Amino acid sequence: MSDHGRIVPPGGTIGIVGGGQLGRMAALSAAAMGYRCHIFCPDEDSPAAQVSAQATVAPYEDTEALDRFAASVDVITYEFENLPTASFARMGAVTPVRPHWRCLETTQHRVTEKDFINSLGIGTAPYRPVASLDALEKALTALGRPAVLKTATMGYDGKGQVMIGADDSASDAFAAMNGQDAILEGFVDFEREVSAIVARGIDGSTVAFDVVWNIHRNHILAETHAPAPIPEDLSDQAKAIASTLADALDMAGLLAVELFVTRDGKLLVNELAARPHNSGHWTMDACYASQFEQFIRAVAGVPLGDGSRHSDAVMTNLLGDDIDQWRDVLAEENAKLHLYGKAQARPGRKMGHVNRVFPKR
Ligand code: AMP
């Protein structure tokens, strides 16, 4: 997967595909290191474009605009995964794309992703690909109930997911997939959910952040507690899993690994994201180098920073109207407010987050 190891020194331009909050915070870190960012996003006035030197506003299918964008930057990365890999392959012929678009190919599809994870001897929930009602019925017999049916692609924050309990109809669940490829997963009766984020440089070096505990409400991340209150050997295992996966993907960039801690103290990988992750926002105020700084360093091909935790932290997402708390948060001690510049506070929309920072225990 060599991309010829191009190093982009400060002063260079980083192209970011996707204009959301992850791109915004990455662009702010890039600016702090002397880089310029060029955002590619279909929306006007996107959160990332608001803080970047340049923006192209065009549909993701506009190959001419993508070509111009690729030619105008020194390296390309992405903060949005649901993009055709062909677009990245095309841009990659002109400008290095980091992480390599083949990482996206692996992580965009839940079945390919789980096949890849299991091929490395790392555990996941048991699963079966589901392309028909017949396949779903067979998979339910094999895995038992309850089970979780998910669309294989384009799912996030619990969208495209149906739980199938003892008395639920398989055909209703199948209909909810709207004809999309799906995956059935055995239900994991987990004790808690954690995540491990690792940065991997173009030289193959890795730096992992401390493992954190994630609390979801309505399938959306509500809080992250750093560090996770789990035994040290378990958190070492989670970091090792993240590094093994990043090495196997031979990626330059950031890999976020969401895991279940089962009631008998084992780790099962739920999902991967080859980009900065909501569960890494705490690092902005509690680590020497944040996830966004590590991401930019990795993508630019310069040495990774010190990702160690200097403080404990609790990150709370501000969803929808929660943004109205801004005044109280600003008045709070040890709290840091991060808002994303989104005009409309729709219910459940990620508008910002607060990091509450405490002395390291
Ligand atoms: P996902 O979109 O795969 O990250 O799933 C969203 C959330 O649904 C997870 O964070 C879990 O809380 C829950 N979930 C997903 N898959 C399973 C599973 N196989 N067993 C139990 N809970 C799950």
Note the pLDDT tens digit of each residue in 58-100.
999 999 999 999 999 999 999 988 788 899 999 999 999 999 9
Q: Count Cα atoms within 13 angstroms, Cβ side, for 327.
A: 2
Note the pLDDT tens digit of each residue in 307-348.
999 999 999 999 999 999 999 999 999 999 999 999 999 999
Which atom of ligand 1 lies nearest, measured to the CA of 110? 3
Residue-range domains of the chain with CATH:
13-97 (3.40.50.20), 126-186 (3.30.1490.20), 190-359 (3.30.470.20)
| pTM, 2 dp | 0.97
Q: How many Å lie between the centroid of ligand 1 and the Cα of residue 349?
A: 19
Per-residue pLDDT averaged across 17-35, rounded?
Answer: 98
273 exposed, middle or buried (CB, 10 Å; 0-12, 13-18, 19+)? buried
Of 221, 269, 270, best ligand 1 pocket probe by most atoms within 8 Å of the beta carbon: 270
Closest CA to 14 of 299, 267, 288, 209: 299
pLDDT of res. 82: 78
Question: Is the pLDDT confidence value at 185 over 60?
Answer: yes
DSSP alpha helices (H): ranges in the chain?
21-32, 63-72, 85-92, 101-107, 110-119, 133-143, 170-175, 232-248, 283-286, 291-300, 326-331
